Each structure stands twice: as structure tokens, then as C-alpha cells.
Amino acid sequence: MLDTYQNLILPDLRQMVAEGDSHGVTEFCRVVHPVVMGEMLEQLSDAEVWQVLDHAELDQRVEIFENINLRRQTELVETLDSGRLSELLENMSSDDRVDLLTRMPSGRREDVLRMIAQAERNDIRRLLSYDENSAGSLMTTEYASLPADITVRDALNRLREQAPNSETIYYVYILGDHRCLEGLVTLRELILARPDAVVSEIMQRDVVRLYVTDQRENVAQELARYDLIAMPIVDAENRLVGIVTHDDALDVVQEEATEDAYLQSAVQPLDDLYQDSPMLTILWKRGVWLLFLSFVALLTAKVLDHYRIATESGHLADQAPPDLTTLILLFLPLVMASGGNAGSQSATLFIRMLALSPTDSLNSPPVVSRRVQMRELAIATMLGSALATLDFLVAWLVLDKSPAEAGAIATTVFAVVLFGTCAGTAFPLLFRRLGMDPALMSNPLIAALVDVLGVVFFYEIAMFLL
Amino acid sequence: MLDTYQNLILPDLRQMVAEGDSHGVTEFCRVVHPVVMGEMLEQLSDAEVWQVLDHAELDQRVEIFENINLRRQTELVETLDSGRLSELLENMSSDDRVDLLTRMPSGRREDVLRMIAQAERNDIRRLLSYDENSAGSLMTTEYASLPADITVRDALNRLREQAPNSETIYYVYILGDHRCLEGLVTLRELILARPDAVVSEIMQRDVVRLYVTDQRENVAQELARYDLIAMPIVDAENRLVGIVTHDDALDVVQEEATEDAYLQSAVQPLDDLYQDSPMLTILWKRGVWLLFLSFVALLTAKVLDHYRIATESGHLADQAPPDLTTLILLFLPLVMASGGNAGSQSATLFIRMLALSPTDSLNSPPVVSRRVQMRELAIATMLGSALATLDFLVAWLVLDKSPAEAGAIATTVFAVVLFGTCAGTAFPLLFRRLGMDPALMSNPLIAALVDVLGVVFFYEIAMFLL
């Protein structure tokens, strides 16, 4: 429901920026939810974004900036002077700023790090050092911690001091010597305990924890398994080095599901959302697998030819040259695989895009969706051309087909790739509009349609060209 | 790390139960994490489970029971007398007990409901009435709420009273007349506020909320978008009717990802985890789509035949009967589609099973995994037989092939379904063992292998039989 709201207020914000109404912008940033602000700013130009953020108070500026997607964040800081950038980074939460710094060119990163205070800089450098698939890469170091030997009253007072610098104060970690993790006490337990009870009496000692080197999927799985708000992450000496909060775990689950769906349909995972990724990136991440799979399919043609010659040599030995039926037989698997694979890729990309988009925002601005559909068509044209060229050359030069025959194969491949992509794009959108699940048997259904239409295309094109 | 621990202590628990050491069992239930207890009990017989639970204190009994998977819960309560069942239900959290009641036969449900106190019963009936895909079906009614006009000091005192019956007290909803949702105050804000401040001064008024009729995916999406611990759910009159907590939203995201992956590979979604689902259920949920897709593939044979006759009539008119090449041409798409689809189903089921299993528990007891692999092989044999029978009958009776030809087609289909399933099972497990993502291009890779081997199988079998 905030999405329609967002469409209503974005023009107001644009107008304020255009008129230079700095007081209005400041007030706007204070009142509107930072998540909504972040999403709105993604739709403005770099200059407009900075005009808005410069007029927001520091706290709001940081929170709004954190809610802009990482790709836009990276673009936005490219032109920002190092002084303002370091101020922003110093105030960002420790996990978000490391994500941004990881994306920046290393020269720029070093420039900016030099301007950041020593303690913060050490924290950043340590977080930057963890493998991107490890628990360490998800952590924030802003957790609340207490010693075990103080009273509940003191604990609550100390917690109030730590609150501004803690991502959550609902889980408080009890640390011993050398910051070793000894226990956990929840804010709920603190609130319910007698004020003069000692923390060590009420704390949980058997705390679920993971190692900084554990896989990031594990963090999400274990957090889900134990229904935790945050998972403590320790090093090999059981020293607490950070926590992963429930919201970051939820993001991991969604990212992993997307990655698996992509991989399963032979799309190399994208760093950003599909709709935010540059076209060349998508082209590369799909094309590389399609080309590989085409080589395997061409192998099928080789195998088919081997068997055909072996079986026909008896009764049809001298009936050369091979007829249309043979050509179709040899290359139909290639045609079907090309169309089916390209279609599955499109379907998967659209299904995951729909699964991750807030429902309202997709219904309301169909313009975005049309732009994405058009881009998909352009991608299909380019992928189809690349595959057709490859198949033409292999059929002509390697498999000794005539240029006309190779041309028929290539044209058919181009046609089915285009058709498969259109079907892969249309089915999820259609099913969704009908109130059904966009994922409904998309891959086999597209493959089946490509199979039937592939035959029709192949014969019609071959009869026309030969 | 708790998984290896679990394997170490399960024999102890079994021994205590066998020896009737009730004191030991009670202590065990108090000390071991209820999540671990729940998972351990899933491996015991019904009688053993009740021996353990009967000796646990009520609080622990309920919490452990809630952590047993829903399918086992349903089995366990089948033989439980209504008195003990109603006691259990009265103490379970409101969302968990409704999930269980939904699964029970309606006669039994009514019997038990009659024994539950009026207020609880009304709560249950209302929650039972929501559509299973709606936000309402995910809700718990155990939320913390306060009026707006009390001081922070009073608020904290009232919250202490509500804590035992609230799923979370970190978000406190501020309700006006008729329980209308007017605001939100977090426990963090309450802790940081002056004790004599009035709640209405510090509360957030622009609260993100969803309607009870909204789709359940939306709840998870919006909760992820705003990084919330719980999402308030209101009715059409803006009255607060429940909340959905972060852990339930995480479950929804995983369930939806699984559902989409299944649908995309033409497996009708399962109610339980793959490894927990009965074999007949899996057989049905896969077979129904495979049969449908086979009909489409048989259509391809029809279309191919139409074109073959049209193009050959010129120069090969009287060359009857159609040769081996023609037979292969007509039915190769069917062979490839059958093997590819069956293989994709297996791969998807295994990939999601791996994605949802805690990493440790899969590495440690490979026995489970072997049982599941064997079952998958049995399923493949049955699906292959069903498809082969269908294809034999259609090829023989509808498409006028000789019994030998139809037999060659059917045998090949059986072989590729078996091969596709084995590949679909083996690749995710192999990739995972190699430290790669189990999802790695499984579907197109399996399809490509099935394509090549389908040709080999088809020719070899046809040459043998004809």
C-alpha cells in the first residue's frame, strides 16, 4: 500500500528539488519511511539524489542511502568527493558499508579509507578480509554485549548507552575474557528479571553460534531452524566477532533461491536484480552457457549421423545425397535444445523477478515491465544471432552441409530462440495476470511448445531455402 | 555443530526411555534445546515420543512438540486421547496449533475443539477460517498491545504481564477504539524513553501493515523490504487481528522458492519436505505432468509425420514401408522430452532437498540419503513404466506403428526416464561433494546428456528389436 503512496509523492519530491525548496526536502526526508525514500531515489538522476540527500539530516541521509540498491549506491559515490563519502561511510552500519566498499575500485577505496578514523578503519579492513561466501561477509560488528557479573539494573543502563551503536539490543551477548562468547540474554529476559538479579544467573549458556568461516547459506539455515533474531559469529578461539541479523538472513535465502533457479536454467548468477542488471552482463551470463549447450547439441547431430549411416548402409547405401528428412533428423535436437534453453532462461529470469518484486509496484507502473520486456527481446535477438552464426559455421565447415542447408539450420535456430524467449517472457506474466503461480511448469511447457513449433519452422524454412 | 551433538545424545535418550528413567528424561528435556529435541523425536517411534513428552514439564512438552515437523505431529496425535490433546493444543502457540488442526480429520477436530475453553476456541475458529494462501493463515494472535495514553513506566509494567502470552514483545502495537491499529512502539524505544513520557509522544504513527486477505508471499516480501521483526495484519476496518513474525516469514520464503522450483520443473508442490513425503504422493505429483507432457510430445510426432509425408511425396513417394530413420525422426523428440523432463524433476527435488537441509546432518548420516536415492530409483521405474505403456499404446493404436516399432519406442522411453532420473539424482549430489553449487545448470545439462544417450539407446534398441 506504500507503493501507490510512493507514486503519489514522487512528483512532489521532484518539484521540491526542481524549485530548490531545501526546507521542504528536509521535512520530506524526516517524514517519509527511509525504505520508501531509498526506492524513490533509485528513480532519480545522480544530481537529483544528492540534492535530496544533502538537505536531509545526517541520520536520515545515512538511513535513506542504505536503502538504495547497491548498484545505484556504487554509481552515486563515483562522483562524490572523498570528504563527504568518508562522512557517509563512518555513519553507515558496518555490514552495509563493507558491501559498498567491496564494489568500489581499490584505488578509490584506499583513498577514502585513509580519511576514516583508525578504529572504524580497522573494523572495515577486518570485515573486508572475509570470503564473500562466508558468514563473515554477512556480519555486522555492531552488537550489544555485557559482562556476566553485573546486575540486571546495571545491564539495562549499559544497554541504553550501547543502543545507538547496536543493530539490535534484543539479543545481548555475554562476553568473558578476550571477548569469548559465554552466554546470551534477551531483552525480554532482562525486562522480566528482578533488577538486582545477576546476569550470569539468568543468561542462556548453551548459545547457538557459527564460525566466521562457515558458509553463508548455513547462517540462514540455522537462523531459520532456531527462529533467532540474530546469529552470533565467533572465530576459532570462540571470540565473538560479529552477528548476522534476521533481515540479512532473509536476504540470503532469497539470493540463494534466485542463484539456484538461475543455475538450474543455465544462467550464470547476476550480482544485481535482473531489472537492474546491464544488458551486456545478462547477454554474457546467458550466452556463454547457451553456446556451450549448443556444442553438446551439435554432438547429438554427429551421433545421429553415425547411426544413420550405420543402419542405412544395408538397404539405402547409395541413395546420396541425404534428403530433407535426414537433415531434419540430424538437426532437430539442436533446434529444440536451443529454443528450449533460451526460453527456460527467460522464464526463470522473469519468474524470479516477479517473486522478488513487491506486488503493488509491478501492477502499478507497467512501463518498467514493458521496458524490461523490450530489453529481453533485444537480448533474444542477439543471442539468437550468435547461436545461428555458430551453428551455420559448424554445420557448413565441420559437418559438411551445403551453405543452403546450413542456412536453413541457422535461420530455424534464430527463429526458435526468439520464439522460446517470447514464450518464456509471456507465460509467467500471463499466468500471474490470471492469478496463477507464474512458475507453473514453465520450463517443460516452453520446451514442448518449442518442440512442436521447431518442427514447423524447420520444415517451412528448409522447404523455402532448399 | 549441534547436529553431531544430536547424534551423540540420541542413544542416551533412547536408553533412558528403554530403562524407564523418568527423572533422567525430564532433566534431558529441560537441558537440551527444544529445536534439537524436536528433531531427535522425529526419529523415534510414536510410543517412544510420548514416553519422552509425558515426562517433560508442560512448557517443555509444548515447545518440543511444536518443533516436530507437521507431518509427524499429525501422526502423533492420531492415537492421543482427546483430553491430553486438548491440553497440548491449549498451550501451543496460536499459529502452530491451527496448522495442526487444519491437518486433522474434521470429526476429530470438532471433538477436540469442544474440550477447549471458549475464548481459545473462538480464536482457533477465526484463524481456521482464513484461506491457506492468505496473510491470515500465517498469523499468530499472541501479540503485545497497549493503549496510547499511558506512560512509558506503565507500558513496561503492562508489557511484563503480557510477555508470557506474546510471541514477541519487541514490537508493541498501540491500539485505539475497537482495537484499531494507531501506532507502534518498539521495546528499544520504550527502554530509551523517559519513564514519565506518554506512549503517544514516542510511538511511530506511520506503521507498515497488511490486510488479512493479502497473499502470504506479500507478507514475506514486505517484511523483508522493511526489515521488520513482525508485520501487523489488520482487517478491512483497520482492526489489528494478528501479527506474522520474522521466523514464519522466512519459512514462507523458503516454501515459495521450493514451490516455484517444483512448478518450474513440472512437479506439483508437495505439502511436506521431499524426504518426508509418501512415495505414492510423489509418484502422483510427478506422473500427472509427465503424462500430460508426453501427450504434447506425441503431438510433435504427428506434426513431424505430416511434414515428412508432404516433403517426401515428390521424390520418395512409393518408398514404403517407412524406414528406421523415419521412425527415429518421428519419436526422437518424445524420447528426449520424456528423459529430460523426468531428469529435471529429480534434479529439482534433490536440489531443493539439499538447499533446505542443515549442512551437517546431511553429511553425517548418509543412510538417509541412500534410502532417498533408492526410493527415487523405484519412482523412476514406475514413472518409466507408465510412460512406456502410454507411448506403446498410442504409437501402436493411434499412430499405426507395428507392435515391434511401438515396443522399441516404449523400451527407449523407459530407458531414458531411468537414465534421466539417475543423472538428475547424481549431479546435485556430485556437485555438492565437489564443493560446487548443486544447482549448477542441472536441467539443461541433463537434457543434453539425455539427448545424446537417447539417440544411442533408440538406435540400439530399434536395431535389436526390428
Distance of CA A17 to the CA centre of its chain: 31
Q: Does A363 touch chain B (CB under 8 A)?
A: no
Note whether B441 contacts A289, CB cutoff 8 Å. yes
- Give Cα separations from A77 to A43, A49, A57, A89, A218 (angstroms): 16, 11, 18, 11, 32
What is the pTM for the complete model shown? 0.87
**A134: which strand partners?**
A215
Q: Does A324 touch chain B (CB under 8 A)?
A: yes
pLDDT 10s digits, A278-322: 888 988 989 988 898 888 888 888 888 888 888 776 555 444 445
Q: Does A157 touch chain B (CB under 8 A)?
A: no
Mean of per-residue pLDDT scores for chain A:
89
Judged by average pLDDT, the poorest of A97-106, A321-330, A418-427 is A321-330
Distance CA A72, CA A43 (A): 10
Best to test chain B binding among A289, A451, A456, A463 (most B CBs inside 10 Å): A451
Give the residue-averaged pLDDT of A160-175.
Answer: 94
Note whether A217 contacts B359, CB cutoff 8 Å. yes
- Quick one: pLDDT at residue B315? 52
Give the residue-averaged pLDDT of A445-460.
Answer: 90
Distance CA A143, CA B308 (A): 72
Best to test chain A binding among B35, B441, B442, B459 (most A CBs inside 10 Å): B441
Q: Give the closest-approach CA distance of B89 to chain A in angstroms.
A: 21
Give the A window 364-403 contacts with B, CB below 8 Å: none
Q: Does A12 touch chain B (CB under 8 A)?
A: no
Element of type H or E holding A143: strand A143-146
- Quick one: pLDDT at residue A4? 61
Does residue A359 have a pLDDT over 70?
A: no
pLDDT 10s digits, A261-282: 898 888 888 888 888 888 889 8
Rounded to 5°, the CA angle B18-B19-B20 comes to 95
Give the B window 181-220 contacts with A, CB below 8 Å: 187-188, 191-192, 206, 208-210, 215, 217-218, 220
Distance CA B73, CA B90 (A): 15
pLDDT 10s digits, A23-78: 999 999 999 999 999 999 988 999 999 999 999 999 999 999 999 999 999 999 99
User: Which residues, given as ranges, of chain B have pLDDT below 50?
Assistant: 1-2, 317-321, 361-367
- Quick one: pLDDT at residue B465? 87
Does residue A401 have a pLDDT over 80?
A: yes
Instruction: Report all structural domains of chain A as residue ranges with CATH numbers, in order of start.
Output: 2-129 (1.25.60.10), 143-245 (3.10.580.10), 265-465 (1.10.357.20)
Collect all residues of chain A within an 8 Å Cβ-Cβ radius of residue B257: 253-254, 257, 260-261, 355
Note whether A312 contacts B324, CB cutoff 8 Å. yes
Give the residue-averaged pLDDT of A162-176.
Answer: 94
- Give the pLDDT band (50/70/90) at residue A381: very high
- Quick one: pLDDT at residue B389? 95
Distance CA B219, CA B248 (A): 10
- Quick one: pLDDT at residue A433? 84
Does residue A430 have a pLDDT over 80?
A: yes
Q: Does B337 touch chain A (CB under 8 A)?
A: yes
Q: Give the closest-approach CA distance of A27 to chain B in angstroms.
A: 15
Note whether B33 contacts A260, CB cutoff 8 Å. no
Collect all residues of chain A within an 8 Å Cβ-Cβ radius of residue B247: 224, 227-228, 246
Integer-rounded Cα radius of gyration of chain B? 29
- Quick one: pLDDT at residue A45? 92
Report the complex ipTM: 0.87
Q: A321: cis peptide before it, omega within 30°?
A: yes
Distance CA B218, CA B316 (A): 61
